[in-house]
Amino acid sequence: MKAVVVHGALDVRVDELPDVQAGPGEVRVAVEWGGICGSDVSYYAHAASGTAMLRHPLILGHEIAGRVSAVGPGVSESLIGTAVAVHPATPIGDLPARLAGRDNLNTQVRYLGSAAFDPHTHGGFAEAVVVRADQLRPLSSGVPTRSGALAEPLAVAMHAVSRVPVAGRDVLVNGAGPIGCLVVAALKLAGAATVTAADVADAPLAMAQALGADKGLNLRAGDELPSDAELVFEASGVPAALGGVLRATARGGTLVQVGNLPGAAAPAVLGDLVTREITWIGSYRFADEITDAVRALGSGLDLEPLISATYDLADAPAALARAAQGGGGKVMLRIGDA
């Protein structure tokens, strides 16, 4: 089978690898679509993602969807042919009782397409992947696997939105990259009254508005953040933006940090966190919100405006280079027959 393998910084190849077979309790998924995430780009550009360093060649990809093509012992053959998204996480550590149900906070989680452990956990940018049957999330009829591959990042956004009550509230989202745009969509699904998106470019702001933002602020063009936003989602992950975002948060307001901040020291202006008595909440990946994401897609949520480019599997290196350029939107890989 063909797979997208990162061998080192700026060294991604479409390799021919041995096919995979489902074992007990497992299924083989013929992957049809994959979405390129920031972590895939980081492995491509730096041979690392956060503290996870590439030690061996790694199949990339954790935002995937396809169809069950085979099942292992103990799994019903009725699943064969089912269109599915895939939950990419396998918790392997133990949670304290106070964190029951919050598997995303497990101290040890194997994630598809991750070099966090050695041996690495191969991902799903391949013609086939084997996962546990309980990682499958069947897609409703009428939901294409192209959309299903967006269930994983949508789950990240839905988890962030679930961290605070949003119904009936006016919300500011800073950063209109793929996660920021999906936070906009998740906020509207959750009943937010109005959503204002802020970014430094028009293209991502247009995507945010296509996904439900009521207003867009181009900070580079001279628009300014408000000074009294009661609820703010920071989705850029840029430390230099934190000072302005905290200043935009109203006194006694809440800031949800969903943009992934660096794991190393970085300068940021944080004084308003104290003087404004701001509640700053972190949000990391998701627990089982991917089930809610698949349900939302089945109810008609259209995420097509988020897709900025589509590449075939053979052109995966070019797709990663395109994603690394930024500019907003989700770059998709067409991996198999859809």
Contact between residue 323 and residue 47 where contact means Cβ atoms under 8 Å apart: no
Q: Give DSSP secondary structure letters for 107-162.
A: S-EEETTB-SSSS-B--S-BSEEEEEGGGEEEPPTT--HHHHTTHHHHHHHHHHHH
pLDDT digits (tens, 9 = 90+) for 44-54: 999 999 889 99
Q: Can you read off the two tokens belonging to residue 159?
A: 């988890």
Dist. CA 79–CA 133, nearest whole Å: 9
Instruction: Give CA–CA dist 324/46, Å, rounded.
Output: 11
The yes-or-no verdict on residue 73 having pLDDT over 80 is yes
Q: How far apart are CA 335 and CA 34, in angstroms?
A: 7
**What domains sit in the chain, N to C, each tagged with a CATH number?**
2-153+287-334 (3.90.180.10), 164-282 (3.40.50.720)
Model pLDDT, residue 199: 98
pLDDT at 50: 86
What percent of the chain has a predicted confidence (pLDDT) above 90?
Answer: 92
Q: CA 212, CA 183: separation in Å to the nearest integer?
A: 10
Q: Helix or strand or coil: residue 212? A: coil
Inter-residue contact 223 to 229 (CB < 8 Å): no
Q: Give residue-wise pLDDT tens across range 98-128.
A: 999 899 999 889 999 999 999 999 999 999 9
Q: What is the DSSP string of 266-299?
A: -----HHHHHTT-EEEE--S-SSHHHHHHHHHHT
pLDDT of residue 107: 86
Q: Which of 159, 231, 160 is nearest to 196 (CA)?
A: 231
pLDDT at 338 over 80: no
Distance CA 75, CA 129 (A): 16
Answer whether 79's CB lies under 8 Å from 27's CB: yes
Measure the CA dihedral 257/259/262/268, to 10°.
-60
Q: Given this model, what pLDDT does residue 224 score?
A: 97
